[in-house]
Every structure is written in structure tokens, then in C-alpha cells.
Amino acid sequence: MRLLALGLLAWVCACSGPPAPDAALCQDVITRMCLARTCTGVNEQLVLGNMDCQSTLQERTGCGGEDFAFSSPSRERVLRCRLPLVRQSTDPAKAPTCEDVDEVLEDCPDLIGFLGGR
């Protein structure tokens, strides 16, 4: 009976919808990076200055269009680099911690480069 309950709980937790398109995934990463803009080094590495974060990064990456698809870095790489950003929560309104953002800045220079940073 306990195994049955545990199995059902796992099934409930694993419940999810279809894969999100690359454009939506890209915009989700931009949103989370912009929420962490106040963290040390984010503004500098992404070379944002006083510009609007969301629109600037969308413009640089070109993922504002519906038919956007990842090439370099790949979708899998973006997903791996995104993991620290969703460690606290997958809620897009909740900012990641500065430690998690630092991890991304350090471990994913290809993603930073994709976002137009240095």
C-alpha cells in the first residue's frame, strides 16, 4: 500500500506538458538573467549599461521570433546552464539567487556569449 502511494506521488510530481519551443526557453533564460541584474558582475558581463535588459538581450539573441531555434549553444546546453537559475523555483517571477547566477556566469561562458556578453 505504501509502495502504491509512493508510486502515485512520483507520478503526480512527474506530471508535465509538452516541450517548450526554443524561443520560449530562450526568453525564460533572458527573463531570469534580467531579474538577477542587480547581482555583482551581471550588468558588466552582459554589457548592459543603462539599456533595457529584456529588449536588449532579445534583440541580441534574436529569440523574439516564434521560429527561433538554438544552434550554438544547443538546446541541451542551454537547459544544463539554466539549471542554477531554476534551482530556487521554476516560477518566472521569482529571481534566482546571486550565487546561482555567479555559477552560470562562471560555468557557461558560451551562454553569456550567446546573450551578447563577454
Nearer to other proteins by Cβ, of 27 and 56: the residue is 27
Q: How far is the CB of 58 from other proteins (least distance, A)?
A: 16
The grid coordinates of residue 38 equal 542587480
Residue 86 contacts other proteins per CB under 8 A? yes
Q: Please report which helix (H) or strand (E) contains residue 10, including its range.
A: helix 2-13
**Least distance in angstroms from the C-beta of 43 to other proteins:** 25
Return the axis-axis angle of helices 22-35 and 53-61, rounded to nearest 10°. Answer: 140
User: What value, to the nearest 5°, has the Cα angle with vertex 14 and ends 12 and 16?
Assistant: 100
12 touches other proteins (CB under 8 A): yes
* 118 neighbors 112 (Cβ within 8 angstroms): yes
Among residues 38, 55, 74, 90, the one that binds other proteins under rule CB under 8 A: 90
3-state secondary structure of 65: coil
**Which span (3-11, 36-44, 53-61, 106-114) binds other proteins, by CB under 8 A?**
3-11
Residue 17 in the binding site for other proteins (CB under 8 A): yes
Please tell me whether residue 66 binds other proteins under the rule CB under 8 A: no
